[in-house]
Structure 1
Amino acid sequence: MRKLLSLRMIAWTLTLCLLAGCAATAGATAAQPSDFDALKPLMDLVATAAMSAGDEPLVIGDADSTLNSAFVAAFFNNGVAADPSLGITADLLSGTEQQAAYLAKVFAAKTAPEVIAPTDPINGHIGFQPVTVNAGTDSDLQIIGELYWGAKAMSQMTDADYADIRWLDRAVFSFRADANATFGYLLTGFSVGSELDIEEAMQNYTDSILVEYINTALGFSVLYPSVFTDDMLVEDGDGISAKLPDDSLSFFVKRAPNSANANLTDYVSVIANGITNAKATLNEAFSSATVTYNTEDGFTVFNVYIITDKYIYQAELSYRKELASTYQMYTAYLENSFAVDAVSVG
């Protein structure tokens, strides 16, 4: 039974409360994230500054707002070590006129430049992975996607780096085309987390990338990538599976009897120890565990396990390693959404 439904779990509701929309782009035309690759270094830096400048992520507004001084300091301090295409140098920390000139060609928001005390950049890299784009007819642009922390930008990652990505939040950037702007667009908005409260845009984004599957007979539910169409789905008495025609991506969810009375910790340890370089992680909050590994034929395999007295539940997503920048984010969705109904725990 395949259904698109509102999401049920408290934890998953929190995950989904991470997206903002822009009503002005409701009638937007289609565009691809790759069309705006030149903006990626800027979006990464803005995300880094907004996420690290305070206890909570900062919101960046339009021309009616003023940039937070902590954000500006984090922006320039991290910018010194960021992508060279941004053109940020150490002299901008003390040159308030240079700061003002730089910010005016990047942000629509007002600025109040001041001398910035040098600090070290953050450990690692906070980045933004664009997923969908709404390009409005009035030169407005909205880019929606996922924030992550990693050792470096995704474009520079090795297979080992991808294994350590942490997906942080959903986020939305808003831009307006401007011929005088450094990157051809002025940034008119950025928000993340609890600030993202436009329900329709949030649901549209969710529906564009994910499908919720509920199997009442076997007692589990999960979100899977919407790239799998109905004709690809195969259901049987054990669960559901699907794969793309070129075999580059596949997933399955199944239930098996817990005939040996296995517990989660021991079961996952046995599996991980039997696979070369497998990484096992216990998630006590969700009473689940994950096992991730790479295969000799070039795939990354991500498994989530939930074990009850009666059953062993397993959800797996497998993709070719060279497609990690597209599909790795879905491992977080798989883990956070995979749930067992109380009825099946028995």
Structure 2
Amino acid sequence: MQTFTFQRVDDPAQAVRLASASTSAQQGASVRFIAGGTTLTDLMKLGVEQPGQLIDINHLPLADIRATPEGGLEIGALVRNSDLAQHEQVKRDYPVLSEALLSGASGQLRNMASTAGNLLQRTRCMYFRDNLSACNKREPGSGCAAIEGIHRSLAILGTSQHCIASNPSDMNVALVALDAQIRILGAAGERTVPATEFFLLPGTTPERENVLQPGDLVTHVVLPAPVSGAHSGYLKLRDRASYEFALASAAVVLHIEAGQVLDARVALGGVGTRPWRSAEAEHALIGATANEATWQAAASAALAHAQPLPGNAFKVELAKRCLAHALATVAKSA
């Protein structure tokens, strides 16, 4: 049995101080914040995560959703996925986020899962979750068993020779498409990082999945004011209708006037090593006529740099169709 200490905190600064001090004192021994625990406890049971200390942050004052002076939303790290998905302003102004959240997991898990926990959700790659397999993400330098193994559900964008694991979150795809900002409290103070820069490509260091440093605490996710006249939506393709991770998904925000695309934001899920914002698709969309030919061109542009392996080559066409259909659907609502 893996033993660990458990401590509850009531103040964000206290949480950061405790985590930072524990990390230093234990010379890098793992310290984890725990809220809903829907991912962390699973990984602890599998032996993938073996923290020496758990810090319970459920009593921190980070469970509110507030309007910002700029017209956006400030979402506390502890807001549960079900509450965020059903929030009236989210459903009205950011439907892509509500739809993404409701397409993930089950009602029971959404009732427990927190905003920050979903943000930090780790890959579902079977080799990462199996301590007997080589995985550079779990054990740097051990190799990537997925490349020569079963990789049907894994990434085709942003991969490297060291890792092809896909980011599993639906919420993250919507946040990237919405230009969300991630607010972080660390030992050096508070900083804000765009969601598009928060997640790291695997490169030669797949064990580093995001920009967080030891002791850092995500406190809020901030959404900018919705683009006037824009419409959005989320489409998820998977092997079964519920409680399944995406093979391909698309988060789309479109502003169309007089049959022309004035603004577009596109992100893909299920196909990238991180939530995949596609500048190529957006370039193909903005200024173009809102029609089927444009949706197809954008989809082709989004997947132009895909690097599939034999077992997931089907994802190239699947993701194209997913994005083209999502664009057409959102355009109809506009």
- Structure 2-normalised TM-score? 0.24
**Structure showing greater Rg:** 1
- Structure 1-normalised TM-score? 0.23
Q: Which has the higher strand share?
A: 1
